[in-house]
Amino acid sequence: MPKQEYRRGNPVRSDRDRRLPHHSSIEYNADTPTSLLEASVIQWHWLEERFPERDQFNSIHEKLAARWQESGLDSCVHFACIRDHSEDFATTVYMQDTAIQAGLETKRLFIDEIGWDGRHFLDLDNARITTLFKLYPWEWFIDERFSPYLLREPWQTIEPAWKMVLSNKNILPLLWEMFPNHPNLLPAYVTSDRLCGSHVKKPVFGREGANITITTDGTEIGTSGDYAQGAYIYQALMQPPKFDAVYPVIGSWIVRDEAAGIGIRESSVPITENTSRFIPHLFC
């Protein structure tokens, strides 16, 4: 593989300008940015403290702050997540911090603290919510008691409602139907009968490796979780590489429409779960 040299967030192709092999996309997440704090800040501090002479593909923080500045928002931005969930809370606080660094006014609340007065969504101070960043899946958001009013209020949500199309695993069969045999996609369908050989069964609204089943040569391995009920999709299996008895998977971050960095998760089994380790990276 040809070497690629990186400076913070700016990949520079080496003198050997040869074509890199294609890599297949296993999943796509367009709604809930978990593992963001690890990928953006924590692994960068690890690099600076341990290997200050090395570099890393990571401009997530800078691109997030720049995106807030480009947004043109001139009113308070509210940040909300579910109560009593430390990871979601930390991620929400971090996203709020990137907005503050961009010069925006912000407030934070929990999802169950969002109110409705018959005309507008309100926070606990009865201040109108005009822009809301929510670390809360859209399929849960539309089940909240205020969901009948979501289309009545001319407010802005981040991520927007159209991300419901992209943020569940039905996007995988749809992409394969639109771009069959694309080198960056894996075959995926809503039924298993169109797949020959090894494949993966995934719940449409599943997260963090829950309720995944891998079928290989007639044998199955799987995970438990809270998403067993509901629809599934079926995707051709691409076994992750195995190094020193662990399986690493690269997560690529995109801010707006630009690649912003990567994060690596590794597990002792081929399924990446919420307990899988986050591993920082560096370039020589």
Q: What is the DSSP letter of 21?
A: P
Q: Which residue type is seen at 192?
A: S
Strands in the chain per DSSP E: 4-7, 10-13, 77-81, 106-110, 115-116, 121-122, 131-135, 156-158, 188-189, 199-203, 213-216, 219-222, 232-236, 247-255, 258-267, 277-279
Measure the CA–CA gap between 204 and 190, rounded to whole angstroms.
Answer: 9
pLDDT, tens digit, for every residue of 115-164?
999 999 999 999 999 999 999 999 999 999 889 999 887 899 999 999 99
pLDDT of residue 6 exceeding 80: no
The answer to whether the beta carbons of residues 39 and 274 sit under 8 Å apart is no
Measure the CA–CA gap between 173 and 185, rounded to whole angstroms.
Answer: 10
Residue 9 — pLDDT band, cuts 50, 70, 90? very low
Task: Give the pLDDT of residue 234.
Answer: 97
The answer to whether the beta carbons of residues 263 and 38 sit under 8 Å apart is yes
Domain extent listing, the chain = 4-14+21-30+167-279, 36-164
pLDDT, tens digit, for every residue of 26-65?
888 889 898 999 999 999 999 999 999 999 999 999 999 9
* Span 71-80, average pLDDT: 95
Residue 22 — pLDDT band, cuts 50, 70, 90? very low
Residue where the block lists tokens 């520079």: 12
Strands in 104-257 per DSSP E: 106-110, 115-116, 121-122, 131-135, 156-158, 188-189, 199-203, 213-216, 219-222, 232-236, 247-255
Measure the CA–CA gap between 99 and 260, rounded to whole angstroms.
Answer: 17
pLDDT, tens digit, for every residue of 206-261?
989 999 999 998 899 999 999 999 899 999 999 889 999 999 999 999 998 999 99
CATH for the 36-164 domain, from 2.30.30, 3.30.420, 3.30.410, 3.40.50? 3.40.50
Residues 6+ apart with CB under 8 A from 142: 150
Task: Give the pLDDT of residue 151.
Answer: 83
pLDDT of residue 15 exceeding 50: no
Structure tokens at 249: 């998977």
